[in-house]
Chain A
């Protein structure tokens, strides 16, 4: 049975699962990477995601306007990010814990609003698949990589963009410096809190988008607690990716591909308890990181509030 794993269908299946599963992680992790690069640890990603998922779903259900849904989800995420920013930047609260608070808040609010405004599980028509001209006609690869909905493309497109912004723009320079040595940035007239507010708001918007990618692009449905801890995995993937967009991509793909693999293992009836199959992506993620021995450290000022003395 195990040999079945190496057939083309299965291989393609795993890869396409990996691409889909990675999509929400990419959005949320890239956003989180930005906020961590500037020194803010946001553990509230999960809450922002689920509230974003609900918002997108609800807006699309009522307006059938997908773009509006995406924007609303990003807006709600950004609002949560703003609140997170206020608490952790202006009020200098413990970031990890306030994040847990925002997670609970987002979880509760999405659930509450769903009960009051929707009531029962419904579908919406979300983003359709957009086969890319020419590219999607390439046999095998075309279907695999170039026949997805627009948010999937966007998720993968965001990786090089994020990398470019971080490394090649003034904004990126500011973000990196604020996360490493806020005093230095401050002494050169860079507003540490402005930069950090920007990244937390951006991170929130991305988390919202991540939620939207679930509820109006990949699944087209909202169900209570549907993010199921993915926000926390997204945070963990930022560590895996050593705060670099390409690293995050590698982490998200690894985790998602192994997740796809374990699904196939179960589908092929390979005889291991399903629990152990489900464990696989987690174990492998730790394992790979243990072996790879990242040379990059965390941003020096991560979780440290900045306050000019005097």
Chain B
């Protein structure tokens, strides 16, 4: 048996991987239904599909984290059995998970060395590992400090650690599970550069995404999954965006943008020379001055980790201001508590919704009143009004099309997209006067993302002030009336949409001021 040879550690370079008729059933859910998929050396094969389409499941089977109920996997046309990640690693398969599989309290080197035999027997050989990391980093342009702790790294850097981990283990087939979902445009470009170089070196890459333009940009072939079934496989050169979208969603989609220009109203939110400290060595904010008017969407562009999060938190009262003043509707709210600001109809869609925006072990209904649970509408002298909470939930479930068995279901048992919908439904349904929306479409599939954008535009048209923090420049350009750029905690400039070009914004995001641009 050749698979014996493969499993016994005799490394064969992967020329092709073929998955045939893969079926995987979870209790009650058919996650993969007779899916065929293959990838060859020196190509990027994109796996496209909406959330819950079965992309990740299929790849976890390939990586040995799940076991298929039926179906076979062949490497170089030989049948293999992959029972665990160890098997996959030994076969030369590496996986970059959507949620990084890194131990935050360990260094880069330690994370890479974890689980590997050491040349020094029971002792770690971290020096050797870190030397090799630097070699690999050099080879593929993955700049990284081997001695840094993971928690000190940006998301993009963490992803590089993940790639290095796979490369270090001698992977020549790499599965990238939604690698761009958490990256800035620049980081995406960098990643694509790395991917291209790897393809040139003979790697096979599986690129999972639901972002059409990225798929078109990077992949050689694309396979679309929907509802656990394969819709089809095509060479990327033969398909276009709208066709793929139709495959994915099952019906055609119109991409929306704001076209009309609405007159700015009164100033809803004003920041005067606001500075703050940040967590764990990040930069914080320095002398931010910003005005947000009613009836406008102010897009805040910037590379991840340049203070966007701190800015949002300072405004909504989650972070202390070290100097400067913040006014909401002309009232000084510097240092005000979160609950006070909630009552002033300030809505906040946090960036990390799973962590900050909802409570997994609460029911859908309870999550839908998270920020308003003590408002008279839902509570009366400290007692919850269960009936009106229930009605509220039922209403929003219908309105925002949240897929849940009932309002009493625990949020944790819903899919990621639906959990996001709960947060959005809660924040947008309360007729806010000001909205801070941090990466509101991140992690959503096309349909849902368009829906959210639509909602933001409706809010703006109704006179709400919207601060849209996004690292997706397309989104910024599609929605914003004005665009501000943040870099290292400072506002580099604010441009109207007419004046803004991707080039100008891009340079500001890189920290280059207009004066220098010339």
Complex A–B touching at CB under 8 A: yes
Are A187 and B95 neighbours in the complex by a CB distance under 8 Å?
A: yes
Given contacts A189-B84, A310-B66, contact A170 B118 (CB under 8 A): yes
**Selected contact of A173 from candidates B26, B85, B104, B114, CB within 8 Å:** B114
Are A188 and B101 neighbours in the complex by a CB distance under 8 Å?
A: yes
Are A188 and B114 neighbours in the complex by a CB distance under 8 Å?
A: yes
Are A181 and B122 neighbours in the complex by a CB distance under 8 Å?
A: no
Given contacts A181-B102, A181-B103, contact A174 B122 (CB under 8 A): no
A184 within 8 A of B: yes
Q: Which residues of A contact B104 (CB under 8 A)?
A: 180-181, 300
**Selected contact of B124 from candidates A170, A184, A300, CB within 8 Å:** A170
Are A185 and B114 neighbours in the complex by a CB distance under 8 Å?
A: yes
Task: Give B97-117 as 1s and 0s: 1 = Cβ < 8 Å from A's Cβ atoms.
Answer: 101111111100011011111
How long is the Cα–Cα vector from A168 to B123 in the complex, in angstroms?
6
The residues in A between 131 and 188 inclusive whose CB is less than 8 angstroms from any CB of B are 168-174, 176-177, 180-181, 183-188
Interface range for A = 20 to 34
How long is the Cα–Cα vector from A184 to B105 in the complex, in angstroms?
12
A278 within 8 A of B: no
Given contacts A168-B123, A184-B101, A185-B114, contact A173 B86 (CB under 8 A): no
How long is the Cα–Cα vector from A300 to B116 in the complex, in angstroms?
23
Are B106 and A180 neighbours in the complex by a CB distance under 8 Å?
A: yes
Are B85 and A186 neighbours in the complex by a CB distance under 8 Å?
A: yes
Name the residue of chain B whose CB is nearest to the CB of A167. Answer: B124
Are B102 and A189 neighbours in the complex by a CB distance under 8 Å?
A: no
Tell me, rounded to whole Å, the shortest Cβ–Cβ distance linking B141 to chain A: 24
**Selected contact of B101 from candidates A168, A181, A300, CB within 8 Å:** A181
How long is the Cα–Cα vector from A271 to B282 in the complex, in angstroms?
54
A308 within 8 A of B: yes
The residues in A between 184 and 216 inclusive whose CB is less than 8 angstroms from any CB of B are 184-190
Q: Which residues of B contact A188 (CB under 8 A)?
A: 85, 89, 101, 114-116, 165
Are B124 and A173 neighbours in the complex by a CB distance under 8 Å?
A: yes
B65 within 8 A of A: yes
Are B105 and A180 neighbours in the complex by a CB distance under 8 Å?
A: yes
How long is the Cα–Cα vector from A189 to B67 in the complex, in angstroms?
15
Name the residue of chain B whose CB is nearest to the CB of A310. Answer: B66
Are A183 and B101 neighbours in the complex by a CB distance under 8 Å?
A: yes
How long is the Cα–Cα vector from A170 to B118 in the complex, in angstroms?
7
How long is the Cα–Cα vector from A308 to B86 in the complex, in angstroms?
14
Looking at A170, A186, A308, which has the most chain B CB atoms within 10 Å of its CB? A170
Are A169 and B101 neighbours in the complex by a CB distance under 8 Å?
A: no
The residues in B between 117 and 131 inclusive whose CB is less than 8 angstroms from any CB of A are 117-118, 122-124
Question: What DSSP secondary structure best describes chain B's contact surface?
Answer: loop
Tell me, rounded to whole Å, the shortest Cβ–Cβ distance linking A150 to chain B: 25
How long is the Cα–Cα vector from A32 to B99 in the complex, in angstroms?
30
Name the residue of chain A whose CB is nearest to the CB of B121. Answer: A170
How long is the Cα–Cα vector from A167 to B101 in the complex, in angstroms?
20
B60 within 8 A of A: yes
Are A185 and B103 neighbours in the complex by a CB distance under 8 Å?
A: yes
Tell me, rounded to whole Å, the shortest Cβ–Cβ distance linking A178 to chain B: 9
Q: Which residues of A contact B103 (CB under 8 A)?
A: 176-177, 180-181, 184-185
How long is the Cα–Cα vector from A168 to B114 in the complex, in angstroms?
12
How long is the Cα–Cα vector from A170 to B120 in the complex, in angstroms?
9
How long is the Cα–Cα vector from A172 to B110 in the complex, in angstroms?
11
The residues in A between 102 and 117 inclusive whose CB is less than 8 angstroms from any CB of B are none
How long is the Cα–Cα vector from A169 to B84 in the complex, in angstroms?
24
The total of chain B residues at the interface (CB under 8 A) is 34
Name the residue of chain A whose CB is nearest to the CB of B115. Answer: A188
Tell me, rounded to whole Å, the shortest Cβ–Cβ distance linking A191 to chain B: 9
Given contacts A190-B115, A310-B60, contact A176 B122 (CB under 8 A): no
Question: What DSSP secondary structure best describes chain A's contact surface?
Answer: helix
How long is the Cα–Cα vector from A187 to B24 in the complex, in angstroms?
19
Given contacts A188-B85, A189-B89, A310-B26, contact A177 B114 (CB under 8 A): yes
Are B101 and A187 neighbours in the complex by a CB distance under 8 Å?
A: yes
Task: Give B54-65 as 1s and 0s: 1 = Cβ < 8 Å from A's Cβ atoms.
Answer: 000100100101
Q: Which residues of B contact A189 (CB under 8 A)?
A: 84-86, 89, 115
Given contacts A186-B85, A189-B89, A310-B60, contact A173 B113 (CB under 8 A): yes
How long is the Cα–Cα vector from A187 to B86 in the complex, in angstroms?
8
Are A187 and B26 neighbours in the complex by a CB distance under 8 Å?
A: no
Tell me, rounded to whole Å, the shortest Cβ–Cβ distance linking B308 to chain A: 25
Tell me, rounded to whole Å, the shortest Cβ–Cβ distance linking B87 to chain A: 8
Q: Which residues of A contact B84 (CB under 8 A)?
A: 189
How long is the Cα–Cα vector from A187 to B63 in the complex, in angstroms?
9
How long is the Cα–Cα vector from A290 to B86 in the complex, in angstroms?
44
Name the residue of chain B whose CB is nearest to the CB of A184. Answer: B101
Task: Give B136-174 as 1s and 0s: 1 = Cβ < 8 Å from A's Cβ atoms.
Answer: 000000000000000000000000000001000000000
The residues in A between 240 and 287 inclusive whose CB is less than 8 angstroms from any CB of B are none
Name the residue of chain B whose CB is nearest to the CB of A308. Answer: B65
Q: Which residues of A contact B26 (CB under 8 A)?
A: 310
How long is the Cα–Cα vector from A171 to B122 in the complex, in angstroms?
7
Given contacts A181-B102, A185-B115, A189-B86, contact A169 B165 (CB under 8 A): no
Tell me, rounded to whole Å, the shortest Cβ–Cβ distance linking B109 to chain A: 10
Are A177 and B123 neighbours in the complex by a CB distance under 8 Å?
A: no
Tell me, rounded to whole Å, the shortest Cβ–Cβ distance linking B400 to chain A: 27
Are A169 and B114 neighbours in the complex by a CB distance under 8 Å?
A: no
Name the residue of chain B whose CB is nearest to the CB of A189. Answer: B86
How long is the Cα–Cα vector from A202 to B176 in the complex, in angstroms?
38
Given contacts A173-B114, A187-B95, A310-B66, contact A168 B124 (CB under 8 A): yes
The residues in B between 66 and 88 inclusive whose CB is less than 8 angstroms from any CB of A are 66-67, 84-86
Tell me, rounded to whole Å, the shortest Cβ–Cβ distance linking A258 to chain B: 31
The residues in A between 20 and 55 inclusive whose CB is less than 8 angstroms from any CB of B are none
How long is the Cα–Cα vector from A174 to B115 in the complex, in angstroms?
7
Tell me, rounded to whole Å, the shortest Cβ–Cβ distance linking B114 to chain A: 5
How long is the Cα–Cα vector from A168 to B109 in the complex, in angstroms?
12
Are A176 and B115 neighbours in the complex by a CB distance under 8 Å?
A: no
Given contacts A169-B124, A170-B123, A181-B102, contact A310 B115 (CB under 8 A): no
Q: Which residues of B contact A310 (CB under 8 A)?
A: 24, 26, 57, 60, 65-67
Q: Which residues of B contact A181 (CB under 8 A)?
A: 101-104
Given contacts A185-B115, A189-B89, contact A177 B95 (CB under 8 A): no
Given contacts A187-B85, A188-B85, A188-B101, contact A173 B110 (CB under 8 A): yes
List the 3 closest A-B pairs by CB distance, nearest first. A189-B86, A188-B115, A184-B101
15 A-B pairs within 8 Å (CB atoms) are namely A168-B123, A173-B106, A174-B115, A176-B103, A177-B111, A177-B114, A180-B103, A181-B101, A183-B101, A184-B102, A184-B103, A184-B111, A185-B114, A187-B65, A189-B85
| A-B contact sample (15 more), CB < 8 A, given A184-B114, A187-B97, A189-B85 | A170-B118, A170-B122, A170-B123, A177-B110, A181-B102, A184-B102, A187-B65, A188-B89, A188-B114, A188-B115, A188-B116, A300-B104, A309-B66, A310-B66, A310-B67
Chain B residues near A (Cβ < 8 Å): 24, 26, 57, 60, 63, 65-67, 84-86, 89, 95, 97, 99-106, 110-111, 113-118, 122-124, 165
